[in-house]
Amino acid sequence: MAIIIDESTKTIVQGITGKNASLHTKFMLEYGTKIVGGVTPGKGGQQVEGVKVYDTVKECVSEHPDAVVSSVWVPPRFAKDAILEAIDAGIKTVVVITECIPIHDMLYVRQVAKQKNVVVIGGNTPGIISPGKALVGMLPKITFKQGRIGTVARSGAITYYLANSLNLAGFGESTSVGLGGDPILGANFEDIFRLFEQDPETDAVVMAGEIGGVYEELAAPYIKEMSKPVIAYITGKAAPEGKRLGHAGAIIEGNMGTAKSKIEALKTNGAIIAQTLSEIPILVKRAL
């Protein structure tokens, strides 16, 4: 079993005719992801890697009513409309690869998604992978191995590192989720924790957060309700105030979003804190 996507999940790709989207459509198909259609306005009737292109999501879904996931690869200024179009067409999970989406646009999208009970992952997510089953996004398949540890991180690079470290220690991943690096995200850590908690094939959860925002602090209280151990790592402990660290959302402003505040909140609520990334597999082994 896995969360969000598995070998039977029907997926569409918005912006499929773009260079990156078409390339990663090829990789997703090769991995086994069931991509049933693509959408690019004005390009309806074309094909990308054997996948039919439609002008609208509604048109695509009308021919493929079992499609429940969309990945969005459009430019930032079009992302809001693309996500809302997917929601309006009945898509249940929207994986937003697009980065640097205007903050007001994402605030609006998040509110609509919540009202419609739709999961939005991202923006600026590297994607989601359930190893051996399905991949939606641009995660490198070589890094992941099927197993029973769920991972969730804001950073794509750290998502890869977590999986590789777990694999070398003899573990594997049930599902790995990249939340995304933009300041305003759709799903947060708690949303993913809840899914892993319900998954019978996930034994423990590893999370990696970073400075900036309050997503880690908001998720912390739920950890003490979980039956599964949560191992947490926060990057950016040495970052100075006002200095952006990699992502647009990774910046300390005032007294909020510091590594110290996040670590304290997580530890207080029962998370097992890793001081270094290399310590994570050791702590997972100890917790199981």
pTM score: 0.93
Residue 247 known to be catalytic: yes
Amino acid letter for position 107: L
Output 255 or 92, whichever has higher pLDDT: 92
Amino acid letter for position 116: K
Residue 30 resides in a domain = yes
Task: Encode pLDDT of 256-275 as tens digits.
Answer: 578 888 999 999 999 999 99
Do 94 and 177 fall within a single domain? Answer: no
Do 103 and 172 fall within a single domain? Answer: no
Q: How far apart are CA 233 and CA 281, in angstroms?
A: 12
**Could you tell me the CATH number of the domain that includes residue 210?**
3.40.50.261
Do 151 and 243 fall within a single domain? Answer: yes
Residue 2 resides in a domain = no
Do 156 and 228 fall within a single domain? Answer: yes
Where residue 240 falls among pLDDT bands split at 50, 70, 90? Answer: low
Amino acid letter for position 225: E
264 lies in which domain range? 140-287
pLDDT at 214: 83
Angle at 233 (CA atoms; ends 230, 237), nearest 5 degrees: 150
Q: How far apart are CA 143 and CA 186, in angstroms?
A: 25
Residue 155 resides in a domain = yes
pLDDT at 260: 85
Where residue 251 falls among pLDDT bands split at 50, 70, 90? Answer: very low
Do 278 and 144 fall within a single domain? Answer: yes
Residue 132 resides in a domain = no
Q: At a CB cut-off of 8 Å and minimum separation 6, what does 285 contact?
A: 169
Average pLDDT over residues 2-19: 97
Average pLDDT over residues 11-39: 98
**Could you tell me the CATH number of the domain that includes residue 45?**
3.40.50.720
Do 109 and 145 fall within a single domain? Answer: no
pLDDT at 96: 98
Residue 4 resides in a domain = no
Do 277 and 152 fall within a single domain? Answer: yes
Q: How far apart are CA 164 and CA 100, in angstroms?
A: 28
Do 170 and 260 fall within a single domain? Answer: yes
Which residue among 121, 151, 182 closes a domain?
121
- Catalytic residue, chosen from 24, 64, 104, 247, is 247
Task: Pick the range with the lowest mean pLDDT from 23-27, 180-184, 196-200.
Answer: 180-184
Mean pLDDT rounded to a whole number for the chain:
93
Do 15 and 114 fall within a single domain? Answer: yes
Residue 97 resides in a domain = yes
Q: How far apart are CA 225 and CA 269, in angstroms?
A: 9
Task: Encode pLDDT of 69-108 as tens digits.
Answer: 999 999 999 999 999 999 999 999 999 999 999 999 999 9
Query: Per the structure block, which two tokens stand in for 245?
Result: 């660290």
pLDDT at 39: 98
Residue 105 resides in a domain = yes
Q: How many separate domains does the chain show?
A: 2
As a three-state string, the secondary structure of the chain is: CCCCCCCCCEEEEECCCCHHHHHHHHHHHHHCCEEEEEECCCCCCCEECCEEEECCHHHHHHHCCCEEEEEECCCHHHHHHHHHHHHHCCCCEEEECCCCCCHHHHHHHHHHHHHHCCEEECCCCCEEEECCCEEEECCCHHHCCEEEEEEEECCHHHHHHHHHHHHHCCCCEEEEEECCCCCCCCCCHHHHHHHHHHCCCCCEEEEEEECCCCHHHHHHHHHCCCCCCEEEEEECCCCCCCCCCCCCCCCCECCECCHHHHHHHHHHCCCEECCCHHHHHHHHHHHC
pLDDT at 259: 82
Query: Is residue 249 scored above 50 in pLDDT?
Result: no
